[in-house]
Amino acid sequence: MAHKPQIILASASPRREQLLREMGLRFTVLQPANVEEVHAGAAPEVLAMQNAQRKAHAVAGLHPDKLVIGADTIVVLDGTIFGKPRDRDEARRILRQLAGRQHQVITGVCLLHHRLDTELTFADSTRVWMRPLMEPQILEYLGKVNPLDKAGAYAIQERGAGIVERIQGSYSNVMGLPVERLRATLEKLGVGGPSGD
């Protein structure tokens, strides 16, 4: 890209916002409206990328001169895909299933600039081993963290670190944005450092 475009993060996730700020990028946040995430009908990586594309396209259509970043994070256990839980009961059921098991966290990312006819989409996967958890531990955890805005009903970066035993892959990917892959992709577009206003 001849000049650094303005960047929009098409997400309401405070964790993604934090990660982009830590990358030194300047951007605005605009949550896409009425984008329904799909969690069935294709391979998990494909679904995460398709959801990221839906979010990016919903915002880029209104801002064709800006580089839009859309992202979608899902948790996969034995082929079952978990997005954000609908309520605390579902969050409890998800954590019961994940407890003591290994699962994958997959984040799809879409970088889209309509005016420059540029679209790059990728997915990153991290393996996560969760500690064995008894029901009182699950209830205690849910009392400390709001699980409803988190894929798989947990967050590794806050109090959630205590329920994760170890990971293999990108830590930031589990937070919702694979910073390493994103930085490399932005550099390909000539957006490697802090963006202009």
Residue 195 lies in a domain: no
Give 197 or 181, the one with higher predicted confidence. Answer: 181
Give the residue from 63, 60, 87, 83 showing the smallest Cα distance to 72.
83
Residue 173 lies in a domain: yes
Give 17 or 12, the one with higher predicted confidence. Answer: 17
Residue 196 lies in a domain: no
Residue 193 lies in a domain: no
Give 191 or 101, the one with higher predicted confidence. Answer: 101
Residue 194 lies in a domain: no
For residue 80, what pLDDT is reported? 93
pLDDT digits (tens, 9 = 90+) for 76-95: 999 999 988 999 999 999 99
Q: Is the dihedral of CA 56, 61, 62, 64 positive or negative?
A: positive
pLDDT digits (tens, 9 = 90+) for 176-189: 999 999 999 999 88
For residue 197, what pLDDT is reported? 38
Rounded to an integer, what distance in angstroms lies between the CA atom of residue 8 and that of residue 186? 13
Q: 36: domain range?
A: 7-188
Residue 69 lies in a domain: yes
Of residues 72, 78, 117, 124, which has the active-site annotation? Answer: 72
The residue length of the chain stands at: 197
Give the residue from 153, 151, 167, 127 showing the smallest Cα distance to 52.
151
CB 61 within 8 A of CB 112: no
pLDDT digits (tens, 9 = 90+) for 106-154: 999 999 999 999 999 999 999 999 999 999 999 989 988 888 888 899 9
Residue 56 lies in a domain: yes
What would the two tokens of residue 95 be?
A: 């954590």
Residue 197 lies in a domain: no
For the entire predicted model, the pTM comes to 0.91
For residue 3, what pLDDT is reported? 60
Q: How many domains does the chain have?
A: 1
- Check if 72 is active-site: yes
pLDDT digits (tens, 9 = 90+) for 66-76: 999 999 999 99
CB 49 within 8 A of CB 122: yes
Q: What DSSP string describes 6-56?
A: PEEE----HHHHHHHHHTT--EEE-PPSS-----SSS-HHHHHHHHHHHHH
CATH number for the domain spanning 102: value is 3.90.950.10
Give residue for tokens 């915002």: 59
Rounded to an integer, what distance in angstroms lies between the CA atom of residue 50 and that of residue 109? 9
Give the residue from 58, 115, 48 showing the smallest Cα distance to 83.
48
Percent of the chain residues topping a pLDDT of 70? 93
Q: Is residue 35 very low, low, confident or very high in pLDDT (cuts 50, 70, 90)?
A: confident
CB 66 within 8 A of CB 60: yes
